[in-house]
Amino acid sequence: MELEVFVNQLCERIIAYINSAEQPGKVVDFTPAESLSKITDVSLPLEGNGVDAVFDDIDEFIRRCVKTNRPEFMNPLWGGLNTTGFAGEVIAALTNTSMYTYELAPFATLIEQAILKRMGELVGFSGGAGTLSTGGSNGNMLGMLCAREVAFPSSTHRGIDGTKMAAFVSSESHYSVLMSANVIGIGHRNLFKIACDADGRMKPDALLEEIARARQEGLTPFCVVSTSGTTVRGAFDPLKAIGEIAHAEGMWHHVDAAWGGSAMFSATLSKLMDGVELADSVCWDAHKMMGLPLICSAFMVKQSDVLAKVCAHGNVAHYLFHESSKDHDLGRYSLQCGRRNDALKLWLAWRECGDAGWAALVEKYVGLADHLQSRIDAHPNLEMMSPRSWTNVCFRYVPAAAGMDLNEVNSEVRSRVMENANFMVSRSNIGEDVIIRSVISNPGITEHSLDAFIDELLRIGNDVETGMPREASF
Ligand SMILES: Cc1ncc(COP(=O)(O)O)c(C=O)c1O
């Protein structure tokens, strides 16, 4: 097949996929793993199938994939398709390079530096340093590594006795902070989980108590991780109060703004992150609310030299880094060696819409979440399960008949929503309660699609309540 024919065939599929989001359809052709492995062929041939067969495989892949670009997709903290970002992703793959040296990625380096500068300014870190990383999880780990290096100078070089160290995070934080505790060498046990208030925000007085308890146990507190936009409830920890405590106690303050960082674009919503400018490091995922294709995530630190120290392993790489381009080799600020060009897609999208476009997007999403909440509040069979400040809408179905186990009912409702695949939302817990969490972070969502979601949920809830069997069975 000629190259031009190949590319045209590819483009046809891309256009069909993008257009399909606006036509009636399911979010996924839901098939349990045991069945899917029987009806598909993923074997790797000894002799190649040839280029024509590539399109059969692509078609099969698209048929089977979750249509994350559909407006009914409201499951994780990301969704939809930013077409300019997609173009950046394609061009980045086409021009395939690694971000470690200026030599190999000259214009991309300037682009990434411009993005980090602007995002740094937005969180109040002018003059700091940063890197695009593999995601918020990696950003949290980088923040804790920086904290470790500052509390125990040269620990990057000499190592540490992590069993004597203590870090603190809210009980509703993302699980990546636990992973980070493992990787930086303090272990899960030395990450203290701090109680939250009724809105899911870390309680500063509880933080003070836990710091005192850690000291009594002979541990050295060195880092507090706050969350701006928690995974389940979308809560924003009080950054000012926590930051003041962290610094008064001689600790580093890292802010996990993977989900909520985009609030900084909005004049009204940025108040949720008051005090971020006093923090020491922040991570912020552009692949979440800003809608860039996965992965696109920034880690920023106020004191630039700390990140350079944490990444000092690069100093031995004479085959990559040379003195002459010291200030422009981004690999000196990264834990990765080979690194994708994630900057291009964000830069193109940002140039297209400007700060004003991001602000409008974020405010639109919060307005849509208000609409969904108003529909829930207005219906006797639906109940909000958490106050809201962001676009996480946590609720459950409440049968009219008394005496049913609400956790069983809501687990069943959510399973049926998944199997019907007209919508995709997540199931989670708040305390002991099973809840349904829908998230507005997808540009295709409208009030109309949210109304249709409520109709579907009430219909399924009623089926469960009245003992109707499932529509689909596998
Ligand atoms: C609050 C929070 N922090 C960090 C992460 C991890 O982000 P990533 O998936 O980009 O590693 C998530 C993911 O949902 C999150 O909700």
Indicate if ligand 1 lies below 6 Å from the C-beta of 297. yes
Indicate if ligand 1 lies below 6 Å from the C-beta of 260. no
Return the exposure string of 438-455: e unless at least 16 CB atoms fall within 10 Å of the residue's CB, then b. Answer: bbbbbbbbeeebbeebbe
Domain boundaries, the chain: 3-67, 89-348
In a 3-state reduction of DSSP, which class is residue 163? helix
CA distance 342 to 290: 14
Indicate if ligand 1 lies below 6 Å from the C-beta of 257. no
Q: Give the residue whose CA is nearest to atom 10 of ligand 1.
A: 135
What are the CA-CA distances from residue 437 to residues 376, 392, 424 (Å)? 12, 7, 10
What confidence score (pLDDT) does residue 153 get?
Answer: 94
Residue 325: CB partners within 8 Å, gap ≥ 6? 101, 102, 103
CA distance 424 to 437: 10
CA angle at 443 for the pair 437 and 449, rounded to the nearest 5°:
60
CB count within 10 Å of CB 86 equals 18
Length of the chain: 474
Return the exposure string of 123-162: e unless at least 16 CB atoms fall within 10 Å of the residue's CB, then b. Answer: bbbeebbbbbbbbbbbbbbbbbbbbbbbbbeebbeeebeb
User: Are the CB atoms for 261 and 267 separated by under 8 Å?
Assistant: no
3-state SS of 107-141 is HHHHHHHHHHHHHHHHCCCCCCEEEEECCHHHHHH
User: Two tokens at 447?
Assistant: 């009030």
Q: Residue 333: which of 348, 315, 319, 357 has the closest Cα? A: 315
What are the CA-CA distances from residue 122 to residues 115, 222, 265, 300, 305 (Å)? 11, 26, 8, 11, 20
Assigned CATH class of 89-348: alpha beta
Q: Is the peptide bond before 295 cis (omega within 30 degrees of 0)?
A: yes
Q: Ligand 1 atom closest to Cα of 231? A: 16
Q: Give the residue whose CA is nearest to atom 5 of ligand 1.
A: 136
Q: In what order do the strands lie in the sheet with 426-430?
A: 382-384, 392-397, 433-439, 426-430
Long-range contacts at 411-418 (CB < 8 A, ≥ 24 apart): 412/464, 413/457, 413/460, 413/461, 413/464, 416/460, 416/463, 416/464, 416/470, 416/471, 417/456, 417/457, 417/460, 418/30
pLDDT in tens, the chain (474 residues): 799 999 999 999 999 999 999 999 999 988 889 999 999 999 999 999 999 999 999 999 999 999 999 999 999 999 999 999 999 999 999 999 999 999 999 999 999 999 999 999 999 999 999 999 999 999 999 999 999 999 999 999 999 999 999 999 999 999 999 999 999 999 999 999 999 999 999 999 999 999 999 999 999 999 999 999 999 999 999 999 999 999 999 999 999 999 999 999 999 999 999 999 999 999 999 999 999 999 999 999 999 999 999 998 888 888 888 888 888 999 999 999 999 999 999 999 999 999 999 999 999 999 999 999 999 999 999 999 999 999 999 999 999 988 999 999 999 999 999 999 999 999 999 999 999 999 999 999 999 999 999 999 999 999 999 998 887 554
Residue where the block lists tokens 């409830």:
233
Indicate if ligand 1 lies below 6 Å from the C-beta of 258. yes
Residue 335: CB partners within 8 Å, gap ≥ 6? 133, 138, 142, 310, 311
Give the distance (Å) from ligand 1 centre to CA of residue 160.
27
Residue where the block lists tokens 């309660």:
433
Quick one: how far is CA 206 from the chain centroid?
Answer: 27
Indicate if ligand 1 lies below 6 Å from the C-beta of 137. yes
Indicate if ligand 1 lies below 6 Å from the C-beta of 285. yes
CB burial of residue 336 (10 Å; 0-12, 13-18, 19+): middle
CA distance 384 to 402: 18
Give the distance (Å) from ligand 1 centre to CA of residue 256.
8
Residue 375: CB partners within 8 Å, gap ≥ 6? 382, 450, 451, 454
Indicate if ligand 1 lies below 6 Å from the C-beta of 136. yes
Give the distance (Å) from ligand 1 centre to CA of residue 296.
12
Which phi and psi angles does 311 have, rounded to 5°?
Answer: -105, 25
CB burial of residue 193 (10 Å; 0-12, 13-18, 19+): middle
